[in-house]
């Protein structure tokens, strides 16, 4: 199992693959923005053989001026993945609690790190349980992996690049937060409300359901085209801290638009510098 694979895998297909001589490595990345820790859920039950990897402390760097979920240190990420049994060129399947957010950021992080054979279990842990598949409370002790982290396999944006993209006539910067946060009507997490001037709003609920299942490719293309995202235009995505936006990058990939860049620091990084402009209201506000 090597090379680039389609980014989603359904439960039945995963069951078949797990019965093979060389099954994919499973990573449980369940996470909630406001807690409790995903490891608590993992200990109650997980896919047999899955290793828990924490989004906040292992797949992201420490929060700070770079945002609430900045890029991880490559050496630390490599150590984490090797401890979880991730092998170079070998298939990895990530899953979360069902909304697809943490799993999408894990998918994005492994792809950014140069590990291409990684997929997301569509529907996450709830889909596995709903299919009547077995769960385990035993934490495995995998043989150490040999994956090598080589950052840069997926494009990223910093604040200056995001601003240029938002201002360009031949590009689109997507803000995938809920409309009231985009408009600056409310901001439950970060200290300043509003959006990057010039960014277009496409709330995540427009292309993915609350169960983490994505719309069909033709509908995804339609939803993205409605805000100006079409083939040949440069595209970037941001959210509050780069988790929901990673899911947007995955959705764009599914829609046949695989080159979208992630503004990893997202709004939490943008507002860390009070000199950066802020737009409010329901329109881009260039």
Largest Cα separation within the chain, whole Å, is 56
234-238 β-sheet, strand order: 156-157, 261-263, 234-238, 171-175, 200-201
Selection from 173, 248, 172 nearest residue 205 by Cα:
248
Let me know: does 135 contact 115? Beta carbons within 8 Å: no
Neighbours of 188 (CB within 10 A): 11
The catalytic residue positions are 239
132: left (phi over 0), alpha (psi -120 to 50) or beta: left
CA pair distance 220, 255, nearest whole angstrom: 6
Per-residue CA distances from 47 to 97, 118, 139, 210 (Å): 12, 17, 10, 21
CA pair distance 236, 162, nearest whole angstrom: 7
């Amino acid at each position: 199992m090597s090379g680039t694979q389609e980014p989603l895998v359904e439960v039945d297909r995963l069951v078949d693959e797990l019965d093979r001589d060389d099954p994919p490595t499973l990573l449980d990345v369940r996470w909630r923005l406001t807690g409790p820790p995903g490891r608590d859920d993992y200990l109650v039950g997980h896919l047999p053989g899955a290793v828990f990897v924490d989004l906040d402390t292992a797949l992201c760097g420490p929060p700070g001026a770079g945002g609430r979920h900045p890029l991880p240190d490559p050496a630390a990420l490599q150590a984490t993945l090797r401890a979880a049994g991730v092998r170079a060129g070998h298939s990895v399947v990530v899953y979360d609690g069902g909304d697809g957010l943490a799993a999408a950021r894990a998918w994005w992080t492994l792809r950014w790190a140069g590990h291409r054979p990684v997929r997301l279990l569509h529907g996450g842990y709830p889909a596995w349980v709903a299919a009547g598949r077995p769960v385990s409370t035993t934490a495995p002790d995998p043989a150490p992996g040999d994956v090598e982290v080589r950052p840069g396999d997926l494009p990223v944006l910093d604040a200056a690049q995001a601003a240029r993209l938002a201002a360009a006539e031949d590009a689109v910067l997507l803000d995938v937060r809920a409309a009231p946060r985009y408009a600056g009507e409310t901001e439950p997490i970060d200290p300043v409300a509003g959006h990057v001037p010039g960014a277009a709003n496409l709330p995540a609920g427009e292309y993915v359901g609350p169960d983490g299942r994505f719309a069909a490719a033709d509908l995804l293309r339609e939803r993205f085209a409605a805000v100006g995202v079409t083939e040949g235009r440069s595209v970037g995505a941001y959210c509050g801290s780069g988790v929901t936006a990673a899911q947007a990058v995955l959705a764009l990939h599914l829609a046949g638009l695989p080159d979208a860049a992630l503004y990893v620091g997202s709004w939490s990084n943008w507002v860390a510098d009070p000199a950066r402009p802020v737009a409010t209201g329901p329109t881009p506000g260039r």
